[in-house]
Chain A
Amino acid sequence: MIIQNIFFWVLALAMVGAAIGVVRSQNVVHAALYLVVVMAGAAAQFILLGAEFVAWVQVIIYIGAVIILFLFGIMLTRAPMRGETSLDNDQRFPAAIVSLFLAGVLGTLLVQAFGKKEVVISGAKGEQLLHVGKAATLADSIFTTYVVPFEIVSLLLLAALVGAVVMARRD
């Protein structure tokens, strides 16, 4: 239990630090690399919670594909690498207030709603958790209960593909 807690807190601190790096860094590529840290951290948290399959999907799609897309985006828009112009706009201060306010509201609500409710991830009950996150269980769930959303997502991906091509091509 302790080990998992230590693991959690180390990861959480790294993730929050890296997340701040994403939104504060003055170098676009550095921001993308910080984002990798956050996503890898999230994947580790997923494993901690027994969601093995989602963790690997996270690694493959986010770190593998999305980050590469971002790097392409940075390259194609020739974003400034060194801080010659500011990457932030003029509403940093109101933005900070709004997000702190949101964090306050959310935090209070969460503490009030869930208090000290336990999520058991070790011991005999933890074993059960591994079953929940297994690829086979997820596959059964997706192809029976959630087959309609699944099909719709495939349509959405197609639409996004076509949309991206139509928008980005030169004509």
Chain B
Amino acid sequence: MLEYAWIIPAIPVLSFVVILFFGKKMPKGGSEIGIFAVGTSFMLACITAVQWFQRVENASGKSGGAALSAFGKGLFARAGEGGVIVQPVVSTVRWFQMGGVTVSIGTRIDGLAVMMLFVVTLISLLVHIYSTAYLHDDVRFTYYYAALSLFTASMLTLVVASNTLQLLVGWELVGLCSFMLIGHWWEEQANTNAALKAFLTTRTGDVGLMIGVIITFFAANQSFDIGKVNASALAGLNGHTIWLVGASCLLIGIIGKSGQFPLHTWLPDAMAGPTPVSALIHAATMVVAGVYLGARVYGVFWQGFSIHSGGLNAMAIVGGITILIGAALAFVQDDIKKVLAYSTISQLGYMVMALGVGSWVGAVFHLFTHAFFKALLFLGAGSVAHSGSHHSFDMKKDMGGLRKYMPVTFITFMIGSIALAGIFPLAGFWSKDEILATAGQNGFELFTVVGLIGALMTAAYMTRCVYLTFFGEYRGHHHPKESPKAITIPLIVLAGFSVIAGFANASLFDIEKFKQYIEPTVAFPKNIFGVDFDIGLAALSVGIALTAIGIAAAFWIERKELKGLKGLTERSSVLKAGHTFLVNKYYLDYLYTDVIVGGIKGPIARASYWVNMNIIDGVINGVGKGATVIGRVVYRDIDQLVVDGAVNGIARETDQAGGLLRPLQSGRVQRYALMLFAAVGLIALALAIFG
């Protein structure tokens, strides 16, 4: 299966076509085809994963039975010390050839690809099932399933891509699908605008990606192949500067796609799409494409940003800023989906920061666990909206007290929240801790602190969100009930994964399966995955998270008693200013539309107005004044006597000539063509005679 991995994306392509043409005639509107296709892809992805595991184990077996734990501790980095490198399985066919460069298309299967195949197909399958209930009776049900299939196919193409060009194709395709699905209910202007905004903002980043792909192509001596690009980057081929430029351009692509500061503004608006879409595209898969790219061509970033040397670099800074601003914004949202969207931004910040501080495994592992619990949270929010609050996402108006009515949704949502907050022993704890520990040990202590602050904020805003949704009194005006099975079963499955996924790499218990199977197949000069478990740090982060939960719970639950804190934002001017600042999303949208666009538009308009008023008008007025004086003289003596006579005469003549020429302007094309050809003939004749 490792060589035939192209079948996995091929199946959803097929189902896309079938749904598009025959979906409407199917008894269930094409959803059964989509579920079957993605289910098959999921099975194949699992088989691929198992085969990859066997391949890794065979390779380590041959090297003299190196212990698995040793293997996990950065064996590849110390390949010279008796370890082995498990080569990825690359199978390609020629795509096109141009100017001596052959570009192939194919699959590159290694631990990273296998992990992504599993995540994408699993979550896509669950979303397919979930949507049968959530979008029941939707006007464009079949179209929705076709788009989901196309999205799955594009994402899988991106994941298995063997070269950067193919990756770019998948990247653009998922962007297109995201656009289609955000604007699924395009009848409302707001949704169309959100879709356009998402499309255009990510496109801004894509320009960077495209340039980055071209730069790395030349830097790697004209190759798009991912393996070659990585190897050339690590060898520092063609100098360090070109890799720095290439890495910076690729980083812009990541910023656009993965909602990093300052291009994150599209992601909250993208919540206009159906909730399952938000779970699949804007939490678990498409938005992590940027992180995936970072992990895929990590050599470029490693070399370009000199990550091995510690200190500061653009990638870590972008990630760090994003963690904090995303988390801060999540506090002031009333829309449950927007809270989750900002939370996603913040968590993506963790992944990008992890890449920036040299924690490759941390980033990929967090991607893995985050996919489960964030998809779970989104689907949970969808379940609440579907059956609890009558299609409203407003936590303050239409929710509250839902734990009594929707127990399954409540429990699974709680599990997701705890996992996100990073409480031992759920998934988020292990992955977040991996990042923080590596950051500290690689000499990026500042980012460990940023990460800890982020953890504090995460725990607090999730407490607020859970409280407003599930506790207190029901504030809506409907009859909340538990969601149907098609919705609750995916929730339960995801909750299960949110609990156990962390144990794939529970360093505390010496379980390092994730490292063993997933770690990159390119040797990095420094140990990027083998950090020791730091129990002090782990305890600290859990402690911080628990404290935050405690404080936040006290604040929101007991705020009747805490009168001193209540209405704090209204009374304290500093806090109020901060609150307003957050509600307005740091004025970034204002910056983009009014300041930048308006700023370019405004001064030019004002400058031309000034020129118009002062210079041109002055000249005209001056000329006018002079002309009036002369005019008076001229009028009396010359005009009335001489010119008038002449003008009237000319006018009469012109009128007559016009009358004569009028038939030429017949308005008939063929008349004009006749004259055209006659003229062309004459000109040719003239040129022949005189030329």
Contacts and interface: CB of A to CB of B under 8 A. Distances in A.
A77 interface: no
Nearest to A109: B688
A108 to B, nearest CB: 7
B661 interface: no
Given A98-B678, A101-B678, A102-B677, A91 B685 contact: no
Contacts of A94: 674
A91 B674 contact: yes
A91 B671 contact: yes
Given A108-B688, A147-B98, A95 B674 contact: yes
Interface in A98-148: 98-99, 101-102, 105-106, 108-109, 112, 147
Contacts of A91: 670-671, 674
B575 interface: no
B677 A99 contact: yes
A86 interface: no
Contacts of B688: 105, 108-109, 112
Interface string B659-678: 00000000000110010011
B681 A101 contact: yes
A69 B113 CA distance: 50
B contacts with A: majority SS: helix
A85 interface: no
Among B680, B681, B684, B688, chain A packs the most CB atoms within 10 A around the CB of: B681
Contacts of B681: 98, 101-102, 105
Interface residues of A, number: 14
Contacts of A102: 677, 680-681
Nearest to B685: A105
A91 B664 CA distance: 13
A99 B680 CA distance: 11
A135 to B, nearest CB: 18
A89 interface: yes
Nearest to A112: B688
Interface of A is mostly: helix
A39 B98 CA distance: 35
Contacts of B98: 147
A105 B684 contact: yes
A73 B200 CA distance: 41
Contact of B670 (A89, A99, A106, A109): A89
Nearest to A101: B681
Contacts of B671: 91
A147 B96 CA distance: 13
Contacts of B684: 105-106, 109
Interface string A2-29: 0000000000000000000000000000
Nearest to B683: A105
B677 A98 contact: yes
A91 B671 CA distance: 8
B674 A98 contact: yes
A147 to B, nearest CB: 7
A105 B689 CA distance: 11
Nearest to A100: B681
A88 B220 CA distance: 67
Interface in A58-112: 89, 91, 94-95, 98-99, 101-102, 105-106, 108-109, 112
| Residue in A105, A106, A109 with the greatest tally of chain B CB atoms within 10 Å | A105
Contacts of B685: 105
Nearest to A113: B688
B675 to A, nearest CB: 9
A27 B677 CA distance: 26
Contacts of B677: 98-99, 102
Interface in B632-691: 670-671, 674, 677-678, 680-681, 684-685, 688
Contacts of A98: 674, 677-678, 681
A129 to B, nearest CB: 29
Nearest to A108: B688
Nearest to B666: A91
A30 B98 CA distance: 47
B373 to A, nearest CB: 45
A82 to B, nearest CB: 24
Nearest to A106: B684
Contacts of B680: 102
Nearest to A99: B677
A149 to B, nearest CB: 15
A108 B688 CA distance: 10
A4 to B, nearest CB: 31
A99 B678 CA distance: 8
Nearest to B671: A91
Nearest to A91: B674
Interface of B: 98, 670-671, 674, 677-678, 680-681, 684-685, 688
Given A98-B677, A98-B678, A109-B688, 15 more contacts: A89-B670, A91-B671, A91-B674, A95-B674, A98-B681, A99-B677, A101-B681, A102-B680, A102-B681, A105-B681, A105-B685, A105-B688, A108-B688, A109-B684, A112-B688
Interface of A: 89, 91, 94-95, 98-99, 101-102, 105-106, 108-109, 112, 147
11 contacts: A89-B670, A91-B670, A91-B671, A98-B674, A98-B677, A98-B681, A101-B681, A102-B680, A105-B685, A108-B688, A147-B98
**Among all A-B residue pairs, the 6 with the closest Cβ atoms:** A102-B681, A98-B678, A101-B681, A98-B677, A105-B684, A105-B685
